[in-house]
Structure 1
């Protein structure tokens, strides 16, 4: 990860460049005479340091936001280093050749503090949207014909609030687990994670639609399908769950039925542009062009344009929020700032294998970062070891399961003794 653009710094500001600046800064300790304490350029740098230190001390991050707490701790470490050179009681001197490095380090701190504030604001708006989404989804359960006005009002509100956002880091979660913990503290709903995933898909769909003109006609449909695409999980029997760790309240979908159940549940939702495609998009959001998706193993010509777009967005966010598919051995973890690029690289490689629509994937990459397609091509061409292996058992594909033993024996003696019908169960 030598290129700065590979980290997609909108997810979390990378610290690698800051570390390089510190190394260059320390290498110039004895380059020249120290600056006088009253130098104008040094005074400006001290003022910037004091302002950043004040902002960091005033920033209160809840304990539930563990990832953000780690980022703030990283900021504290950097500021403590700068304290030795820029505080009023500084114990070390600076030379003129060190000032550019220290200026860039403080700029990195500023960028990270801005990101922390953005994530805190995102958690507040997310909880607000979730409350409305849960209430709107209750009508779908209780009425055979549901008026989508509540959902349409929520879509309009999201569009109004997100219209000014200029990078994906302001609407995508750094940690889905932490966001779930924050939401559960304020919303007493056992299935809040389902709505949380749907909300992130809907906001990501709108962001891509703003960047890619070809997506704008289907924006409302993609946002509606995104918010409700996992609603079929609510129809699964929680008693069937066999999850490790004893979490009996978690639902299990070994046969991949939740897309079909969700599509059936949304069949009566009418009254918005593209409503006739809603059930189809929800039913196909896990299908792949090569026929390895689920639940129906549909192939290329069976998947419409809307379903292809929804499938790519869902897959990208699934990879971003689940680190085990972004590691080569399933043990080590990824730095937060590498997750966005790792997810994009995995999606890029799956697209090359024919699993996803190449045009749709490229449109998503361009919306996330203009330089991302080129970076992904270079990383894949050099066989970047960051993401080489996917867990084959993660998705329920028939191609990845063990072949069943034949119902007859290939041994000649057995063929003489028994017939094929002898191995069939009697009715």
Structure 2
């Protein structure tokens, strides 16, 4: 895996490389001559170490960002290890072979801190986007036919803000739950997750469209569909009976109904390129080519190109933000950096099973990183146990269910019935 791919957050596990570097550092302890205490190389390492240590202590992360706090603590642990070699009064000397390894570890820490700062900035800009998105959807609720101008303005702002971003980790949430918890303090709303999922989907679609010509034609349509694809959830409220008790409803029925409700709600949104496809795309964003999707279980010929693209983007984020499907109900756990790579691997394997359009999935994955698709092919071929040996599907597979016991028993009544049948046949 290339170094550029290793630095892409939420696609590959860089912590594994850092662990390998420490193993190599200990191996090279006695293999070459020591650097002089006043050497230029050692001086640069000590300056970098001092700057990183100070910057890490100055990071002020809110308690809601639990994942970022964990990353900051891990950076501090690695800095304490480096202190043994780079402190003004070190306990371990540095050899010539160890110098580039320590430099690489410090570069990793610098990238880690940069990512933490990006996530802190992302949480702030997300609050602004959520406010604009909520205002833009007010007309959808109050008017039969509404103008998309507010949504188009939000899309233009996202394009202007994201045009300089070159890594998915710069706009994908480290943890959707953490972002939601922090944003809820400024914007109290029980349906906040619907808007956050929409924003992340729209930004991911724009990122892919910048790198794939085939996606550019439908970029505006897919971004609006991404912003609004889960709006049907807002129409689903828990109902109560006359005594104020919540009525029992099958969660799967509620989940499978939101695409249709969202499409019906957005039927009057017109005035942008591809607006006639909006309701179709939103109603089909959970459909799969093999007919196992919902709500209607459509097959290959019934799914349009735009619907296939939005479905792939939604599926990737669904896997990234919901680790239950990747961790087999808690049986297996992962490093945080591994989750998005595991989601990409799951999406790749599902496409090879015929659930998603292979061409669309390959375009999507190669847009995230040029070498990612090839890495996934090799990982799937060798069944790398580090990334994932097997995924557990949330959808129940009837073919693998236990066979129910027989509904009859070989008792006296059954024997008597068998004798009567035998005598009747002799007659």
Q: TM-score with structure 1 length normalisation?
A: 0.87
**Aligned residue for 1:181?**
181
| Residue of structure 2 in register with 1:168 after alignment | 168
The 1:275/1:321 distance shift into structure 2, 3 A limit, reads same
Equivalents in 1 of 2:398, 2:296: separation in Å? 11
Distance 1:232 1:112, change over 3 A: same
d(CA) in 1 for partners of 2:169, 2:392: 27
Q: Is the 8 A contact 1:328 1:387 kept in 2?
A: no
Residue 387 of structure 1 pairs with residue 388 of structure 2: yes
Structure 1 residue runs of 5 or longer lacking an equivalent are 241-246, 406-410, 414-427
Deviation (angstroms), 1:89: 3.1
SS in 1 for 2:193: helix
Q: Is the 8 A contact 1:218 1:274 kept in 2?
A: yes
Match of 1:378 in 2: 378
User: SS state of the match for residue 188, structure 1?
Assistant: coil
Asked if structure 1 preserves the Cα contact closer than 8 Å seen for 2:194 and 2:230, the reply is yes
**Partner of residue 211, structure 2:** 211
1:87 partnered with 2:93: no
C-alpha contact 1:236 1:252 (8 A) present in aligned 2: no
Residues in 1 aligned to 2:165 and 2:231: alpha-carbon distance in whole angstroms:
27
Q: Name which of structure 1's ranges 135-144 and 187-196 shifts more when overlaid on structure 2.
A: 135-144
Distance in 2 of aligned mates of 1:103 and 1:381? 34
Q: 1:361 offset after TM fit, Å? A: 0.2
Higher Cα radius of gyration: 2
The CA distance in 1 between the partners of 2:40 and 2:233, in whole Å, is 62
Contact residue 326 and residue 343 of structure 2 kept, 8 A = yes
Report how many aligned residue pairs link the two structures. 404
Measured after TM superposition, the shift of residue 109 of structure 1 is 0.7
Give the Cα–Cα distance (whole angstroms) in 2 for the partners of residues 404 and 270 of structure 1: 52
**Residue 374 of structure 1: how far off its partner (Å):** 1.1
Let me know the Cα RMSD of the aligned residues: 3.0
Asked if the contact 1:127–1:183 (Cα under 8 Å) also holds between the matched residues in 2, the reply is yes
CA distance 1:216–1:400, shift in 2 (3 Å): farther
Instruction: Give matches, 1:191-230, under 5 Å.
Output: 191-230=191-230
Secondary structure at the counterpart of residue 239 of structure 1 = coil
- Inter-CA distance 403–315: structure 2 relative to 1 (3 Å threshold): farther
CA contact (8 A) 1:289 1:298 kept: yes
Aligned match of 2:423: none
For 2:235 and 2:101, how far apart are their aligned partners in 1? 57
* Alignment deviations for residues 358-413 of structure 1 (CA, whole Å, 9 cap, x no partner): 10000001101111111111111123344344444x248888999999xxxxx998
Consecutive unaligned residues in structure 2, runs of 5 or more: 241-245, 406-413, 418-427
Deviates more, 1:269-278 or 1:13-22: 13-22
Name which of structure 1's ranges 89-98 and 262-271 shifts more when overlaid on structure 2: 89-98
Query: What TM-score comes out, normalization by structure 2 length?
Result: 0.87
User: Does residue 28 of structure 2 align to residue 28 of structure 1?
Assistant: yes
- Residues 8, 168 of structure 2: 8 Å contact kept: no
1:144-163 alignment, distance < 5 Å? 144-163=144-163
